[in-house]
Amino acid sequence: MSLVPKSAQATTRGALAPLARSLHRMGVSANAVTAAGLLLTLVGAGFIAAGRPLFAVAVLIVGALADTLDGQIAKAAGGGTRLGAFLDSTFDRVSDAALASAAIIYGALHGDVLLLWFALVALVSGSLVPYIRAKAESLGLTASVGLAPREARMVLIVLGLLAWAVSGDSQLFVMAFVAVALLSTATVVQRIAHVVGALRNT
């Protein structure tokens, strides 16, 4: 079970499908959109580190849409490529690390120990979530279980930024990162337990 229902993910992809087909007809490649999504996320991370939540949330929403749109463009082109899959997975890891690092920097600059430490936890656990899935798949298993896959973590971060931007209270963003850290850690435990159980039954 995930915090972001699969039906919501499917609805978002369906809504972006016409735009994806139009971009494909214009010659825009999925890899170009993947790269654009990474650049937007890096810019958003810079705004977080600088304490500019409104700019950060605006940029990250567009970046998140690009992250979904690239898969739809690949589908419109007849299917993704191995290069596209590699770039998408690698850039996702860079994006996740950039957002957590930006929160760490902001916490360090403003003396927010809670944000600093929970962002560190989110950085480590967030990197383990996809690693466990990839390792499980290399062993012929699946490990896509858990409360907080990447989509759920991104939603929490964006909501935290939006709350900060609207209220002017950065502690709402801190609480969002606390939730991300705790849910990511829970997801790591869930995936480890799932894989261990599957391996014991083989």
Domain ranges of the chain: 6-200
Q: What is the pTM of this model?
A: 0.89
Instruction: Give the chain's largest Cα–Cα span.
Output: 53
pLDDT score for 11 = 67
User: What residues are annotated to the active site?
Assistant: 92
Closest CA to 192 of 141, 152, 118, 121: 141
The pLDDT assigned to 202 comes to: 74
CATH code of 6-200, in short, is 1.20.120.1760
Pull the structure tokens for residue 20.
Answer: 């994806």
pLDDT at 84: 87
* pLDDT for residue 151: 87
Q: What is the pLDDT of residue 159?
A: 96
- Look at residue 26 and give its three-state secondary structure: coil
Q: Name the pLDDT band for 180 (thresholds 50, 70, 90).
A: very high
What digits encode the pLDDT tens for the residues 6-41?
655 666 666 777 877 888 888 888 899 999 999 999
- Average pLDDT over every residue of 148-152: 87
How many other C-beta atoms are found inside a 10 Å radius of the C-beta of residue 191? 24
Phi-psi region of 111 (alpha: psi -120 to 50; beta: other; left: phi over 0): left
Q: Express each pLDDT in 45-60 by its tens digit.
A: 999 999 999 999 999 9
Average pLDDT of the segment spanning 152-160: 94
Of 165, 53, 185, the residue nearest 120 (C-alpha): 185
Instruction: Report pLDDT digits (tens) over 75-117.
Output: 888 777 889 889 999 999 999 999 999 999 999 999 999 999 9
DSSP secondary structure of 173-190: HHHHHHHHHHHHHHHHHH
Single-letter code of the amino acid located at 167: S
Contact 176, 157 (CB under 8 A): yes
CA–CA distance, 60 with 41 (Å, rounded to integer): 6
Average pLDDT of the chain? 90
CB–CB of 71/13 below 8 Å?
yes
> Do the beta carbons of residue 91 and residue 35 sit within 8 Å?
yes
Cα–Cα distance measured from residue 141 to residue 135, given in angstroms and rounded to the nearest whole number: 9
